[in-house]
Amino acid sequence: MNRRELLLLLGGAAIAGCRSARAQRRALPLVAFLSPRTFAANIDAFRRGLRELGYVEGQNIALEVRSAEGDNRKLPALAAELVSLKPDVIVTNSEPAIRAVKEVAGTIPIVMSIVGDAVALGFAQSLAHPGGNLTGQTILSTDVIGKRLQMLHEIVPDPGCVAVLGLAGVNYDNASDELAAAAKALGVPLLPITIADVNDLATGFAEITRHQCRTLVVMSDPLFVQASRQLIELAGQYRIAASYDNRLIVDAGGLMSYGPDTVDMFRRAARYVDKILKGEKPADLPIQFPTKLNLVINLKTAKVLGFEVPPMLLARADEVIE
């Protein structure tokens, strides 16, 4: 065998080996993961959930992760890119990302790791029987946001008014109704503040101060977790007692949060993936509620802001940061 023939033989073997390796990799179930923003804790929790169920990346499952890095305009292109990989399941969260995936996924199963009112948003026929190819977990839970307002009222009984910070284009109808009912029962007026993006936060807080609101309820959206630093700094600057739905903001220095453990919800999303990979249909998998709601209070922040947290409220807290 001459040198040329040897090189051709080796080259052919290498190409065949590459093709074989690619085929082997694609033989693994492929899970696509799309997030509006990168939160390492969330993807780590999802990977942990997969490991708990016996899945090891590169051995019996493959994972492709994409993030819009806070720019929702990127979501449609990222969704299309992931769909082109022909994944077995797509995991995503928040209304804009879910909608972007739904538009292009066809019949590919979609697991919504976190969603608001899936029925009102048109993602499911009902919580018990989603229908179609979407299922997952909802943060919709009766009177959570009303209780957040009640607990704020225990810290600041005379708030003047209560500001409610939301993101433009997001459906908060159910939460808004609950909040309005709680505010009426407490006899406090609400001041809706809507922003388009984080650049509007300073203007929003200036409006809150102009109306002399001493308390703030921040609605649920990944953007507000991403903007934790700005929210905390502005609340400190204007001495506003703010309540959040995500404990990550309180860990960063926010005053208090009450809501589901969203990081754990990403871990639990792996259970849906497991069931779908084993042949179950998303249409038949009920959308689940959070298993636990946590009250977290940052006592250090309360002292810096000049607010006293009543002992009874501290006693109800699942965690107190001192």
Q: What is the pLDDT of residue 140?
A: 73
Q: What is the pLDDT of residue 4?
A: 52
Enter the pTM of the model: 0.77
- Which H/E stretch holds residue 297? strand 293-298
Residues with pLDDT less than 70, the chain: 1-26, 141-142
Phi and psi at residue 6, to the nearest 5° = -65, -45
Q: What is the pLDDT of residue 83?
A: 98
* Structure token digits, residue 61: 């499952």
Which residue(s) pair with 294 in the sheet? 259
CA nearest to 95, candidates 71, 68, 116: 116
Q: How many residues are present in the chain? A: 322
Measured distance CA(311)–CA(309) in Å, rounded: 6
Measured distance CA(50)–CA(273) in Å, rounded: 8
Q: What is the pLDDT of residue 7?
A: 47
DSSP code, position 287 = P
Measured distance CA(250)–CA(152) in Å, rounded: 14
